[in-house]
Amino acid sequence: MSDSDAELLRRYRWRNPRTEAEPMAFTFAEFVRGAFATWGWFLLFALPALVVTSAVPAVFAVGPGTGGWGPWWGWALLYLVYGIPIVLVVSLVALAVGSPGAWLLGWCLRRSDRIRVHVIAFAGYGVAFGVMFAWSLGWMLSGRTGLDTVVFRSPFIAASGAAAALGRYRAIVRTRPKPFTPPGEDIPEE
């Protein structure tokens, strides 16, 4: 048994879920940790999304005869102050609604050991879920189901895709054992 296998056994205190046939299998605890890491990434990316969704209409509305929205930074500050609590609550709902699909996607990909496949699949899932969630949120809040509701929330859709990809990548990197290097062999010889 190598040191990396011993580290995994020590970490999990039971059998390692990853085998030759399923190199990307995961435990429920790993899934929960990855889901909350993805939520954290989304919250980080949601801050610029709030600024963009407030600043872009304000910048384009200002002009002669339009009355204007006022300075874009004022609207950005307003969106941040009132938007952060709303984003926290809505993203927790999205986490609860989207987690079963992410679990299923991870389960279906457990036999593929290519990190790129996992990252691209989860980015696609994040974008698809973001579009569906933006559309349904627009329908619930305003009764509008047009393309404009999705386009207006496109920064949040991009944040959802990036967060899902980064969350999966970090989960893979965290669960992969580090290769064992005996002391003294990590220094290259000249």
Query: What does the domain layout of the chain look like in residue ranges?
Result: 25-175
The pLDDT score that the predictor gives to residue 12 is 58
Q: What is the 3-state secondary structure (H, E, C) of the chain?
A: CCHHHHHHHHHHCCCCCCCCCCCCCCCHHHHHHHHHHHHHHHHHHHHHHHHHHHHHHHHHHCCCCCCCCCCHHHHHHHHHHHHHHHHHHHHHHHHHHHHHHHHHHHHHCCCCCCHHHHHHHHHHHHHHHHHHHHHHHHHHHHCCCCHHHHHHCHHHHHHHHHHHHHHHHHHHHHHCCCCCCCCCCCCCCC
Nearest-angstrom CA–CA distance, 35 and 43: 12
Q: Residue 67: what pLDDT?
A: 52
pLDDT for 73 equals: 72
- Say if pTM beats, i.e. exceeds, 0.85: no
Which tens digit of pLDDT belongs to each residue from 104-159? 999 899 888 888 999 999 999 999 999 998 888 878 877 776 777 777 788 999 99
pLDDT value, residue 10: 64
**62 phi and psi, to 5 degrees?**
-80, 130
Task: pLDDT band for 8, please (50, 70, 90 cuts).
Answer: low
List pLDDT tens digits, range 54-71. 777 766 665 555 555 566
- Lowest average pLDDT, out of 7-11, 59-63, 177-181, goes to 177-181
Is 50:80 a contact under the CB 8 Å cutoff?
Answer: yes
Greatest Cα pair distance, the chain, in angstroms, is 76
pLDDT at site 36: 94
